[in-house]
Amino acid sequence: MPVSALFLDIDRTLTSSGFRIPRRNIDALARAREMGHKVFLNTGRSHGNIPPDIFEQIEVDGIISGNGSVVSVAGEIIYSDFMPRDIFEKIAAAVYADPECWGVFEGLKSSYSVSGRGRLLSRNENDCPTLESLLEKCRDDSMQVVAVSGNFNPQMLRSLRGEMSVYAFDSYYDIVSPGNNKSKGMFRVLDALGISEKSTMAFGDSENDIEMLKAAAIGVAVANSQQKVLEIADYIAASNDDGGVGEAIERFILKGVHQYE
């Protein structure tokens, strides 16, 4: 069965280390869409934390954000499960209480960061010097993800694992509502459009991509992926800097190679 839907992680998969999409990826995705294939972003970032210039470089048919907590198809949200406000405020208070910790609070509309700490993950963040300013700025937003630095309060992190989903990366953690992941988000899209999972191709590099790669007919890991991702991938493509997404699309779609008939 031919591939008809592609699901793309953004950071360190679709984008290069400089957070631009390699030309090879742009061209391959454009050609795939011209052939009728659907393209979806499937990211750990919230809707509001996806940099606008992504959409200046490629066209997509929908977005799965916040590790499956929000799913949109053709601009319409078909599923949402936001972080409980009390848990968001508890995490935020812990971040502001520790001057060595940074946090990025990612909502449906925008993202918000602690002033003067750590790194800014995108250009559309709101700078919040105090907890009070954060709560005021995001009062009308719905939280999907909180990203905290690797030195975040370990006791609170342990307690959160019992009520939230926590994904570990090299230097930070993503905290999201439980019961959601990229694979479930992918299946919500497939159900909405009547597409079989046997017609899917997914791309990723990190722990939160594993379930998605396993569920897709062809799970592609870029060469710079975490080792545990490389071990479960159906195909290992070139690195994110070398246009691995485009390379895999060329191999399995544009050149007609398909080993999962």
Considering the domain architecture, whether residues 58 and 111 belong to the same structural domain is answered as no
Contacts of 58 (CB under 8 A, 6+ apart): 21, 25, 26, 29, 30, 39
Is 215 part of any domain?
Answer: yes
**Per-residue pLDDT, 256:** 60
Considering the domain architecture, whether residues 143 and 193 belong to the same structural domain is answered as no
* Residue 219 three-state SS: strand
The CB density around residue 82, as the number of other CB atoms within 10 Å, is 18
Q: For the chain, how long is the longest CA-to-CA vector?
A: 56
Q: Please tell me the distance from the alpha carbon of residue 191 to that of residue 24, in angstroms, as a whole number.
A: 30
Give the domain CATH number at 147.
3.30.1240.10
User: Among 154, 176, 198, which residue terminates a domain?
Assistant: 176
What the block records as the tokens of 142 is 């719905």
pTM over 0.85: yes
Q: Please tell me the distance from the alpha carbon of residue 231 to that of residue 207, in angstroms, as a whole number.
A: 11
Domain count, the chain: 2
What the block records as the tokens of 252 is 């399995």
Considering the domain architecture, whether residues 190 and 70 belong to the same structural domain is answered as yes
**Per-residue pLDDT, 260:** 36
**Per-residue pLDDT, 118:** 58
* Residue numbers of the domain that contains 91: 85-176
Contacts of 253 (CB under 8 A, 6+ apart): 2, 3, 28, 32, 35, 37, 201
User: What count of residues does the chain have?
Assistant: 261
Q: Please tell me the distance from the alpha carbon of residue 9 to that of residue 191, in angstroms, as a whole number.
A: 20
**Per-residue pLDDT, 1:** 52
Give the domain CATH number at 198.
3.40.50.1000
Q: Please tell me the distance from the alpha carbon of residue 143 to that of residue 177, in angstroms, as a whole number.
A: 9
Q: What is the pLDDT along the chain (261 residues), one digit of tens a residue?
A: 577 899 999 999 999 999 999 999 999 999 999 999 999 999 999 999 999 999 999 999 999 999 999 999 999 999 999 999 999 999 999 999 999 999 999 999 999 998 776 554 444 458 899 999 999 999 999 999 999 999 999 999 999 998 999 998 888 999 999 999 999 999 999 999 999 999 999 999 999 999 999 999 999 999 999 999 999 999 999 999 999 999 999 999 998 654 433
Considering the domain architecture, whether residues 165 and 95 belong to the same structural domain is answered as yes
Considering the domain architecture, whether residues 96 and 54 belong to the same structural domain is answered as no
DSSP letter (8 states) at residue 86: H
User: Among 123, 149, 176, which residue terminates a domain?
Assistant: 176
Structural contact between residues 227 and 102, judged by C-beta atoms closer than 8 angstroms? no
Structural contact between residues 129 and 186, judged by C-beta atoms closer than 8 angstroms? no
* Residue 37 three-state SS: coil
